[in-house]
Amino acid sequence: MEEPGTVVIIARPGSDWSSSLEVLSERYAYRVVLAGSAAEALTTLSSIHVDLAIAEDNENESGGLDFLAGLRVSHPDIIRVYVTPKSGSMLEQTLAKAAIFQFLLKPLDAAQLGLVVERALETRELARRHRILSREFKISGGALMFAERKTALFRPESQRFEKLVYVSEQMAEMCDLARQAAQTELPILIQGETGTGKELLARAIHYNSLRRGSPLLVQNCGGMPDELLQSELFGHKRGAFTGAISDRLGLFRAADGGTVFLDEISEVSPSFQVSLLRFLQEGEVKPLGSDKVLHCDVRIIAASNRPLKALVERREFRQDLYFRLKGFEFEVPPLRARPNDIAPLAEFFAAKHADALGRKILGVSASVIDKLSNGEFPGNVRELENEIRRMVALARDGEYLTTRNMSPALLAAAPRERPGAGGFQPEGVTLKDQVESLEKQIVGRALARNHWNQSRAATELGLSRVGLANKIKRYNLVPSG
Ligand SMILES: Nc1ncnc2c1ncn2[C@@H]1O[C@H](COP(=O)(O)OP(=O)(O)OP(=O)(O)O)[C@@H](O)[C@H]1O
Ligand SMILES: [Mg+2]
């Protein structure tokens, strides 16, 4: 599923981008986000995957160019296009600092802009493929390129859901459902251990919902005194409590039409739970110290790293609120339950931090991936990212990340138990999932060895032909080219 690309435009107040917007989103089907300021553009960049940024300046201004120069450092992957009224030799000098892909002179020609954006994205895609191929070639020393290899160097291309990177079945399934859930109006509950990507998922959902044009506001509910949390979300009247020196709107009303992300929802008080329930049921907001009931339209996404179900059983969390919150429920699996995500994540973080630190790293060596795959990662993806960031900082230009740069704790991690050995790698957490994943691999290999001659493979495995046919069907096995 190839996505057409996302473009952010940082527009000057009063300038008219309507025909460009039309060309980019109608003719080319790009997703276009119009930001009114640099700050707004940065919030967008932190939430969604952006491919290209367009900034503009008027006569005697340089805010747009400065923004692009900053982007070169903070988000070097994003292609930069500049729109300016002036031409001449001075321009060339100033352009160099932002290393822009192309500049366009005002008045802007929408068709020309469309073409420039298309070419820019094509160029980047070609560069990406070239990078992958030349890396494969280097690792394999060229000669091994087409020979059979024991290591999984030809890894499947990773998938993305906004900023989430993954290849595992578990994540693919979860993100597919999340894409659908995003389109509905139901509240969403996201659970999972610390550092698994709950907030990233919440942001991805908001930006894939019909509310993406309205704000996503975030409230961490952990460690907040009840009164403060109530007033943050529902607002207050002046004088409602000591320190309430003026009226406060509250997050729910500030996010009207958009989404509120309530993090660490397990930590809220019983009385807050009642207010939240009322809000979910009736859309009613009553600011502290006011008896006026106001209405607003906000979608709630809540997250917790403590399982709410257990808290409900212990009567520490209201059951009716729990049921209301989980219009859709997502459990982000811990990293150790999806070890095949480790390689693409490590590569992704290596590239990200190499860019950020201005390092030229060739990639992550297979021995590092091997070691990382044994790690327990109690801090999940966050811990993996920290490890890679540290390794990039220690690595030398023009090299791969090697086990030399790894932190002692991870280096010492014992290899995981690998039942069956022989390069079989179980997937999943439960015994049933792991056994099934092994069975699938064993049957698949027997078939491949016997060139899909099913009677021979069945004999080898000690199965009847019908028994083998059932397993092929059950695991969707197909001959690979
Ligand atoms: N699948 C992923 N792809 C890329 N980056 C990820 C992924 N999952 C997590 N991260 C990164 O790991 C870090 C932790 O993610 P996030 O803050 O979403 O986790 P969390 O589940 O909300 O953690 P906590 O419970 O501690 O708040 C972030 O820097 C995020 O960018
Ligand atoms: Mg979080």
Distances (CA, A) of 170 to 195, 319, 338, 416: 16, 27, 7, 20
For residue 331, the CA-to-ligand 1 centroid distance in Å is 13
Ligand 1 lined by 62 (C-beta under 6 Å) = no
41 and 67 Cβ atoms separated by less than 8 Å: yes
Write out pLDDT tens, residues 129-183: 777 666 555 555 444 444 333 333 444 578 899 999 999 999 999 999 999 999 9
* Ligand 1 proximity of 340 Cβ (cutoff 6 Å): no
| Atom 9 of ligand 1, residue of closest alpha carbon | 197
For residue 307, the tally of other CB atoms under 10 A from its CB is: 14
Q: At what angle do helices 366-374 and 380-394 cross, to 10 degrees?
A: 150
* C-alpha 263 – ligand 2 centre gap (Å): 6
Whose Cα sits closest to atom 13 in ligand 1? 382
Task: Give CA–CA dist 390/394, Å, rounded.
Answer: 6
Q: Each residue of 6-45: pLDDT tens digit?
A: 999 999 988 899 999 999 999 998 999 889 899 889 988 9
pLDDT at 134: 66
165 lines ligand 1 (CB under 6 A): yes
DSSP-based three-state secondary structure for 227: helix
Q: Is the CB of 196 under 6 A from ligand 1?
A: yes
Using the structure block, give the residue that is written with the tokens 């099934």. 436
The beta strands (E) that lie in 95-209 are given as 102-105, 159-161, 164-166, 188-191
Ligand 1: residue whose CA is nearest its atom 25: 194
Burial pattern 154-169, b for ≥16 Cβ within 10 A else e, equals: eeeebbbbbbbbbbbe
For the Cβ of 428 lying below 6 angstroms from any atom of ligand 1, the answer is no
Domains within the chain, CATH numbers bracketed = 6-125 (3.40.50.2300), 169-331 (3.40.50.300), 336-411 (1.10.8.60), 418-481 (1.10.10.60)
- From 448, 132, 173, 156, select the one nearest 333 (Cα to Cα): 173
List the one residue out of 157, 107, 167 whose CA is nearest residue 132: 157
Tell me the best of 166, 174, 199 to mutate to test the pocket of ligand 1, counting ligand atoms within 8 Å of each CB and taking the most.
199
Ligand 1 pocket residue status of 203, Cβ below 6 Å: no
Q: Which ligand is nearest to the CA of 389?
A: 1
pLDDT attached to residue 144? 42
- 64 Cβ inside 6 Å of ligand 1: no
pLDDT, position 113: 96
| Span from the CA of 200 to the centroid of ligand 1 (angstroms) | 6
- How many A from CA of 88 to the centre of ligand 1? 46
> Is residue 199 in contact with ligand 1, taking CB distance under 6 Å?
yes
Give me ligand 1 centre to Cα 272, in Å: 27
Residue 265's Cβ-count burial label (10 Å; 0-12, 13-18, 19+) is buried
Residue of minimum CA distance from atom 28 in ligand 1: 382
pLDDT at 136: 56
Determine how many CB atoms are found less than 10 A away from the CB of residue 75: 17
In the chain, which residues have pLDDT < 70?
1-3, 89, 132-156, 414-423, 481
Signed CA dihedral, 18, 19, 25, 31: sign only: negative
If you compute the radius of gyration of the chain from its CA atoms, what whole number of angstroms results?
26
Distance 130 CA to ligand 1 centre (A): 29
**How far apart, in Å, are the Cα atoms of 229 and each of 91, 253, 281, 311?**
51, 14, 19, 20
Asked if residue 200 has its Cβ within 6 Å of ligand 1, the reply is: yes
CA of 91 to the centre of ligand 1 (A): 40
E-assigned strand segments in 215-287: 216-220, 259-263, 284-285
Q: Is 305 in the pocket of ligand 1 (CB under 6 A)?
A: yes
Compute, in angstroms, the gap from residue 328 CA to the centroid of ligand 2. 18
Nearest protein Cα to ligand 1, atom 5: 164
| Substitution site in 262, 381, 384, 385 for ligand 1 pocket (most atoms within 8 Å of beta carbon) | 381
| Helix ranges restricted to H, 144-260 | 169-182, 198-207, 226-234, 251-254
What element of type H or E holds 63? helix 63-74
